[in-house]
Amino acid sequence: MSITTEAELAGMKKASEAVALTLKEMRKFAKPGMSTKELDDYGGKILNDLGAKSAPYLTYGFPGWTCISVDNEFCHGIPSETRILKEGDLINIDVSAELDGFWSDNGGSFVIGSDVNEHQKLVEASRQILQKAINKIKGGVRISDIGFLIETEAKKRGYKVIKNLTGHGVGRSLHEAPHEIANYRDRFNVTRFKKNSVVAIETFISTTSTYAETLQDGWTMVGNKGGFMAQHEHTIVVTEGKPIILTEMNEIWN
C-alpha cells in the first residue's frame, strides 16, 4: 500500500507494533524443552489480546498462529506438540497479522540457549545484512540494487542467498506489489521503491542452499542442498531519506 493519510500511517503503526511485540515476547519465552506448539500458542494469545488476527491463518488457513521453523527447516514451519526445542537449535519465528484492516509482517532467527552448534555467526550475518539493506532503501532506488547488496554481503561472509524467497509489499493485505524483493540482482526487475509505499524487507541467508523446496506437509520449506538458513524481516515505510521502520520494537537488531 501507499501511505496517503495520517490515519493510514497510524493504522500501520498499530498493526506493526502488534506483530513486533508478539515476536519480541515469543523470542524471550522460547527455551529448551518447550514444544513449538506451546510457543505458537503463547504468540497467538498475545496477538488475540492485542486485537490482531494471524495473517497466515486468515490468508491461507495455515495450521498455526505463527510460522516456527527449526534447524534445517527454512520457513513456514508448522507448530507442533512433538517438535521440542533443544539447546543450540536455530529457530526462526515469523509473525504477521491483520489489525483494523492493516497488515504487517516481521520475523527473526535466533539460537535457543547457548550456541553449541555455532549458528550465531549465520544469525549475525542475516541481521547485519538486513540493516545494511534497509539503510539504503529510499524512493527511486532500484529493487534489484538492494538484492545485489544483500547477495554481495552474504558472499563476503561465505554465505549464499535463497533465490525463490523474497520480500514483498504489505499493508492492505499480507502480500502486495512489489511482489518480489529478491535477495539477489534480478536483472529482469526494473522496478524501483516508491516513496510512501509499505514493504516487508527480509533476508534469506544460507550456508549451502540457493533454493527452498516445500515438504510433503504442503507448508514447510527446506533447502535444495540442505544446510541452514537465517531470516530477519522488518516492515518499513519508504521515504525520500531514511525509512520508517514500523516493526522496530521487535528488537531483532538489539
Binding-site residues for a divalent metal cation sit at 94, 105, 168, 202, 233
As a dihedral over the C-alpha atoms of residue 60, residue 65, residue 67, residue 70, rounded to 10 degrees, the angle is: -140
Closest CA to 26 of 10, 37, 14, 11: 37
Measured between alpha carbons, how far is 157 from 71 in angstroms, rounded to an integer? Answer: 20
Q: Which segments are annotated as binding site?
A: 76, 94, 105, 168, 175, 202, 233
* Residue 183 Cα distances to 18, 89, 118, 144, 209, angstroms: 26, 24, 24, 8, 13
Residues in the annotated binding site for substrate = 76, 175
Task: Quote the CA–CA distance of 63 and 157 in Å, as a whole number.
Answer: 35
For the chain, count helices (H), then strands (E): 5, 13
Rounded to whole angstroms, how far apart are CA atoms 50 and 253?
23
C-alpha closest to that of 236 among 54, 104, 101: 104
Residue listed under C-alpha cell 484492516: 101
